[in-house]
Amino acid sequence: MDTDSGATVESWRLDKPVALAVIFGAAGILLPLFTIREHRLDGGTGLSVLSASVPYSVLLAVCILVPAVIILVRTNAKIRAGLLAGTGSVLIVLPWLLAGILGSRELLELELDLGRVAPAGGFWFLTLSGMILVSEFSRRVQGWTGTLLVAAILLCVFAMFRLGLLEDIAFIREYRVREQRFLSEVIAHLRIAAMAVGSAVLVGVPAGIVSYRYRVVRKPVFSVVSGLQTIPSLALFGLMIAPLAFLSQRYPFLRQLGIRGVGNAPAIIALFLYSLLPILRNTYTSLSVIDPAVIEAGKGMGMTQKQLLFMLEIPVALPIILSGIRVASVQTIGNTTVAALIGAGGLGNFVFQGLGQASPDLIVMGVIPIVVLAIVIDRVFAFFIGRVIPGARNVE
Amino acid sequence: MIEFDRVVKYYGTHRALDGVSFTVPDGCVTVLIGPSGCGKSTSLKLVNRLLEPDDGYVRVNGRPVKSFAVEELRRGIGYVIQSAGLLPHMTVQDNIGLVPRLLGRDKAWRRARARDLLDLIGLDPHAYARKYPSQLSGGEAQRVGVARALAADPPILLMDEPFGAVDPLNRETLQNEFISLQRKLKKTVIFVTHDLDEAVRVADRIVLLQDGLVIQEAAPEELLGRPSNAFARDFVGTDRALKRLGRFSVSDYMSHDTRRVGTKDHASVPVDATLREALSRILAIPSDEISVIDAQNRTLGSISLEAIRRAGCGGESS
- Report yes or no on A87 lying in a domain: yes
Residue A130: HSE in the Cβ half-sphere, 13 Å Cα cutoff: 27
CATH number at residue A191: 1.10.3720.10
Instruction: Answer yes or no: do A301 and A366 share one domain.
Output: yes
When pLDDT is averaged across residues A183-192 and rounded to a whole number, the result is: 94
Quote the CA–CA distance of A240 and A248 in Å, as a whole number: 12
Instruction: Answer yes or no: do A199 and A338 share one domain.
Output: yes
- Of A170, A201, A229, which marks where a domain is finished? A170
The residue of chain A nearest to residue B148, with distances taken between CA atoms, is A301
- Residue B142 near residue B181, CB atoms below 8 Å: no
Is the pLDDT score of B103 beyond 90? yes
- Of A128, A147, A170, which marks where a domain is finished? A170
The residue of chain B nearest to residue A391, with distances taken between CA atoms, is B132
- Report yes or no on A70 lying in a domain: yes
Instruction: Answer yes or no: do A29 and A124 share one domain.
Output: yes
Quote the CA–CA distance of A236 and A240 in Å, as a whole number: 6
Instruction: Answer yes or no: do A160 and A222 share one domain.
Output: no
**Which residue among A297, A303, A388 sits closest to B102, beta carbon to beta carbon?**
A303
Closest C-alpha among B270, B268, B273, B225 to residue B249 = B273
Nearest-CA distance B88 → chain A (Å): 6
Q: Note the pLDDT tens digit of each residue in A86-98.
A: 999 999 999 999 9
pLDDT at B316: 47
Chain B interface mutation, best of A299, A301, A306, A307, highest count of B Cβ atoms under 10 Å:
A301
Question: Range with the lowest mean pLDDT among A200-204, A245-249, A371-375?
Answer: A245-249
> Strand order of the sheet with strand B268-270?
B268-270, B289-293, B299-304
Chain A interface mutation, best of B41, B73, B87, highest count of A Cβ atoms under 10 Å:
B87
Instruction: Answer yes or no: do A221 and A101 share one domain.
Output: no
Question: Using the beta-carbon criterion (under 8 Å), do A294 and B73 form an inter-chain contact?
Answer: no
Is the pLDDT score of B308 beyond 60? yes
Q: Note the pLDDT tens digit of each residue in B147-183.
A: 999 999 999 999 999 998 888 888 888 998 999 999 9
Q: B2-239 with B250-317: one CATH topology?
A: no
Q: Under 8 Å CB-to-CB from B1, ≥6 apart: which residues?
A: B23, B24, B25, B26, B60, B61, B62, B188
The residue of chain A nearest to residue B103, with distances taken between CA atoms, is A302
Quote the CA–CA distance of A366 and A349 in Å, as a whole number: 8
Instruction: Answer yes or no: do A166 and A199 share one domain.
Output: no
- Residue range(s) defining the domain that contains residue A143: 16-170
Nearest-CA distance B71 → chain A (Å): 4
Is the pLDDT score of A8 beyond 90? no
Question: Using the beta-carbon criterion (under 8 Å), do A390 and B132 form an inter-chain contact?
Answer: yes
pLDDT at A391: 55
Instruction: Answer yes or no: do A51 and A194 share one domain.
Output: no
When pLDDT is averaged across residues A43-68 and rounded to a whole number, the result is: 87
When pLDDT is averaged across residues A287-314 and rounded to a whole number, the result is: 93
* CA dihedral sign, ordered B81, B84, B88, B93: positive
Quote the CA–CA distance of B77 and A238 in Å, as a whole number: 60
List the 317-346 stretch of A: residues with Cβ below 8 A of B: 318
pLDDT at B260: 57
What are the boundaries of each domain within chain B?
Answer: 2-239, 250-317
Fold designation for B2-239: Rossmann fold (3.40.50)
Measured between beta carbons, which residues in chain B are less than 8 angstroms from residue A296? 50, 81, 85
Q: Note the pLDDT tens digit of each residue in B222-279.
A: 998 889 999 999 998 888 888 888 888 888 888 887 765 555 556 888 888 888 888 9
Instruction: Answer yes or no: do A77 and A203 share one domain.
Output: no
- Report yes or no on A340 lying in a domain: yes
Q: Does A294 touch chain B (CB under 8 A)?
A: yes
Q: Does A105 touch chain B (CB under 8 A)?
A: no
Residue A173 host element (H or E): helix A170-177
- Of A134, A152, A170, which marks where a domain is finished? A170
Nearest-CA distance A27 → chain B (Å): 46
Measured between beta carbons, which residues in chain B are less than 8 angstroms from residue A303? 71, 102
Instruction: Answer yes or no: do A139 and A97 share one domain.
Output: yes
Measured between beta carbons, which residues in chain B are less than 8 angstroms from residue A300? 48, 50, 74, 79, 81, 85, 158
Fold designation for B250-317: CBS domain Like (3.90.1280)
**Which residue among A297, A303, A304 sits closest to B85, beta carbon to beta carbon?**
A297
Instruction: Answer yes or no: do A147 and A233 share one domain.
Output: no
**Which residue among B75, B82, B134 sits closest to A302, beta carbon to beta carbon?**
B75
- Residue B32 near residue B192, CB atoms below 8 Å: yes
Instruction: Answer yes or no: do A224 and A301 share one domain.
Output: yes
Question: Using the beta-carbon criterion (under 8 Å), do A299 and B50 form an inter-chain contact?
Answer: yes
Closest C-alpha among B289, B284, B308 to residue B299 = B289
What is the number of structural domains in chain A? 2
Instruction: Answer yes or no: do A224 and A355 share one domain.
Output: yes
Q: Under 8 Å CB-to-CB from B119, ≥6 apart: which residues?
A: B125
Quote the CA–CA distance of A219 and B192 in Å, as a whole number: 38
- Report yes or no on A315 lying in a domain: yes
